[in-house]
């Protein structure tokens, strides 16, 4: 069935470090791909999206590229800040449903 | 000006009670959803409505009954609450349900059953 595998957390980084959170998915067809972020005690916010192969989504310094050949959508940021501490969710949109990964908790230390 | 708003944000109630969570969106979208996030932060869709019609029902116990009085509102009623219903419930909306549509979430409703 359709599924998403995300990098296990928690991920702990120092401020200004480079971030990669891996995401791979299994799905029929070519779904749109999303990253959502959940800050502590808050709701889900859309971070970025990509709708077709080789598209790059970007927002707030975060980027992810739709890789059809590896069915991946890895999230990257060149220099993280303490304020980026949150849980990050990868999710393809399949038949009208977002299929979420288990979430990756990121903790950024000053 | 909140796009998807849900009330209440926090709800603590006893087992066996019946409770409702309300959701409204002012984005002009025609599709609305309920998602559940469990204690391990795992998120799963429960229901989806398009123009007040149910289109997705993901094997949710029939104690959960969504109601969409119009396309801007999707309420969730839960009967005979159980301890395992404790979770965060997210309402969401989108314009259509096809590929490429973006789903926008509310702030969540934290339900604790004691």
3-state SS class at B83: helix
Q: How far is A19 from chain B (nearest CA, A)?
A: 21
Whether the pLDDT of residue A9 is over 90: the answer is no
Q: Which of A96, A101, A102, A106 is the best substitution to test chain B (most B C-beta atoms within 10 A)?
A: A96
Residue from the list B48, B103, B108 with its beta carbon closest to the beta carbon of A43: B108
Task: From first to last of the 114 residues of chain B, give the pLDDT tens digit.
Answer: 669 999 999 999 999 999 999 999 999 999 999 999 999 999 999 999 999 899 989 978 999 999 999 999 999 999 999 999 999 999 999 998 777 789 999 999 999 999
Contact B97 A96 (CB under 8 A): yes
Give contacts of A38 with chain B, Cβ < 8 Å.
Answer: 41
What is the mean predicted confidence (pLDDT) over A8-21?
95
What is the mean predicted confidence (pLDDT) over A26-42?
92
* Mean per-residue pLDDT over chain A, rounded: 94
Angle at A19 between CA B87 and CA A63, to 5 degrees: 85
pLDDT of residue B52: 87
Give contacts of A89 with chain B, Cβ < 8 Å.
Answer: 43
Whether the pLDDT of residue A29 is over 90: the answer is no
- Convert the pLDDT of each residue in A47-86 to its tens digit: 999 999 999 999 999 999 999 999 999 999 999 999 999 9
8 Å CB contact between A66 and B6: no
pLDDT of residue B1: 60
Whether the pLDDT of residue A1 is over 90: the answer is no
pLDDT of residue A2: 85
Smallest Cα–Cα separation from A43: which of B32, B20, B35?
B35
Contact B105 A45 (CB under 8 A): yes
Classify burial at A58, counting beta carbons within 10 Å of its beta carbon; exposed 0-12, middle 13-18, buried 19 or more.
middle
pLDDT of residue B96: 84
User: Band of the pLDDT at A45, cuts 50, 70, 90?
Assistant: very high
Cβ-based neighbours of B94, under 8 Å, separated by 6 or more = B29, B31, B33, B101, B102, B103, B104
Percentage of the residues of chain A whose pLDDT score is greater than 90: 85
User: Band of the pLDDT at A28, cuts 50, 70, 90?
Assistant: confident
pLDDT of residue B30: 93
């Amino acid at each position: 069935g359709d599924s998403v595998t995300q990098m296990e957390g928690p991920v702990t980084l120092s401020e200004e470090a480079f971030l990669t959170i891996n995401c791979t998915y299994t799905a029929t067809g070519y779904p749109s791909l999303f990253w959502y972020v959940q800050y502590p005690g808050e709701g889900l916010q859309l971070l970025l999206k990509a709708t077709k192969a080789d598209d790059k989504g970007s927002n707030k310094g975060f980027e992810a590229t739709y890789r059809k050949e590896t069915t991946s959508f890895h999230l990257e940021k060149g220099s993280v800040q303490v304020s980026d501490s949150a849980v990050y969710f990868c999710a393809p949109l399949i038949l009208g449903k977002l299929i979420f990964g288990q979430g990756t908790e990121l903790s950024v230390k000053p | 000006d909140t796009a998807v708003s849900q009330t209440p944000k926090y709800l603590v109630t006893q087992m066996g009670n019946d409770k409702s969570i309300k959701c409204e969106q002012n984005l002009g979208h025609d599709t609305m959803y309920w998602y559940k996030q469990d204690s391990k932060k795992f998120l799963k869709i429960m229901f989806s409505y398009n123009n007040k019609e149910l289109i997705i029902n993901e094997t949710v116990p029939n104690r959960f009954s969504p109601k969409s009085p119009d396309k801007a509102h999707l309420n969730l009623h839960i009967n005979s609450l159980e301890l395992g219903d404790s979770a965060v419930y997210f309402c969401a909306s989108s314009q259509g349900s096809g590929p490429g549509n973006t789903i926008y979430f509310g702030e969540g409703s934290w339900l604790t059953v004691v």
